[in-house]
Amino acid sequence: MEINKISFIGTGVMGSSMARHLKNAGFDVSVYNRTKAKAQPLIDEGMKWCDTPAEAAKNADVVISIVGYPKDVEEVFLGDKGILSTKEGGIVIDMTTSSPALAKKIYEAAKAKGVSSLDAPVSGGDLGAKNGTLAIMVGGDEEAFNTAKPVFEAMGKTINFFGPAGSGQYTKMANQIAIASGMLGVAEALFYAKKMGLDPQKVLETIETGAAGSWSLSNLGRRMLKEDYAPGFYIKHFIKDMRIAIESAEEAGLELPGLLKTKELYDILSQKGMDDNGTQAIIKWYLNQ
């Protein structure tokens, strides 16, 4: 199968950059977003606008979505004007961090129409999307993955196939679990340094070169120190991800105390009206003690 036409659904913080990379790679890209104004810059750059997910899917070789919540994914794929209401053949790819169970449901619905479905959530935030260096975790049929690989390579750097439908989402949950406790560690380290009378910036620059080094420390730690809470990844979406991870862990009989504590603190920030802040705003929980 030759891939020429791609429809991209969801042109938010990450989706806009991802769609641009596809266009720059030579694909013919169309876009749909619930709020057209957010897609206008892409339309101005030459991408075609579609009025519904169904229209976006109709003549595309590949349809990609990256939206907010599982309920949005379900509507985009399975709604009356959803992707699978018109799509026949080709490949659909959901890159939203969503429910593994929903990924399996979409896979079966797509298969019934002769459509290959991949769940391919990403990690790397707004910077990874902008720089085309996302980590992409894929579940579904390996043949479809191999066909779609040039599409993934236009948007990401680390691209791995993990197995049947839902496997990409399970992998992303492992990613979010690792980030969850790590975010507390970054915030606590910088808060501690400040309270001990140290220069937090100097501390960060020192410890990031050793065993404490991490992407979160080097990137989000710096945003914490600048009091830059603009969203590379929204608190409300991180809470959604942690909820999915907790639910899937509970289904498997697993206890994950670090994840539970992290969600508890982010829930407090959410209750204070901070849903649209970036995840680095967790430092506020410590500073407001």
Q: What is the pLDDT of residues 188-206, one digit of tens each?
A: 999 999 999 999 999 999 9
b/e per residue 80-94 (b: at least 16 CB within 10 A): eebbbbbbeebbbbb
Closest to 97 (Cα-Cα) out of 148, 56, 137, 53? 137
Contact (CB, 8 A) for 164 and 138: no
Question: Catalytic residues, which ones?
Answer: 172
Confidence of residue 269 (pLDDT cuts 50, 70, 90): very high
Contact (CB, 8 A) for 170 and 238: no
Closest to 191 (Cα-Cα) out of 268, 258, 275, 284? 284
Q: For the chain, what is the mean pLDDT? A: 96
- pLDDT value at position 233? 87
Does the pLDDT of residue 232 top 90, yes or no? no
**pLDDT tens digits for range 146-170:** 999 999 999 999 999 999 999 999 9
Global pTM?
Answer: 0.90
**Residues in Cβ contact with 244 at an 8 Å cutoff, skipping those fewer than 6 apart:** 70, 97, 98, 99, 100, 169, 173
Angstrom distances, CA of residue 179 to CA of 185, 220, 285:
10, 11, 17
What is the DSSP code (8-state) at residue 83?
G
- pLDDT value at position 13? 84
Does the pLDDT of residue 289 top 80, yes or no? no
pLDDT-above-90 percentage for the chain: 94
